[in-house]
Amino acid sequence: MRILIFGAGTIGLSYAWLLSDKHDVSVYVRPEKQENAYETYSISAQDLRKEKVMLLNSVLI
């Protein structure tokens, strides 16, 4: 499935990373925000179902 996510903030990149394993994901960033879209974000998330912490690294190119 092809998925388009609007916004490259914490939530948008988290969903993009999680969905990209099984889907073709693209992230749309408004033209006035694109200069900030080339940063690397590290997100620490805890999966309470499995009681472990995973580090999500997302890079938008």
Using only C-alpha atoms, the chain has a radius of gyration, in whole angstroms, of 12
Longest dimension (CA), the chain: 39
Q: What is the pLDDT of residue 61?
A: 40
Long-range contacts from 7-11, C-beta under 8 angstroms, 24+ separation? 8/33, 8/36, 8/37, 8/60, 10/41, 10/43
Domain count, the chain: 1
Task: Supply the range of the domain harboring residue 48.
Answer: 1-60
Band (2; pLDDT cuts 50, 70, 90): very high
Band (60; pLDDT cuts 50, 70, 90): very low
Pairwise pLDDT comparison (45 vs 60), residue with the higher score = 45
- Residue 9 structure tokens: 């903030």
Q: What is the pLDDT of residue 26?
A: 92
Q: Give the sign of the dihedral formed by CA 1, CA 26, CA 54, CA 57.
A: positive
Tens digits of per-residue pLDDT, 21-52? Answer: 899 999 898 887 777 666 666 666 666 765 55
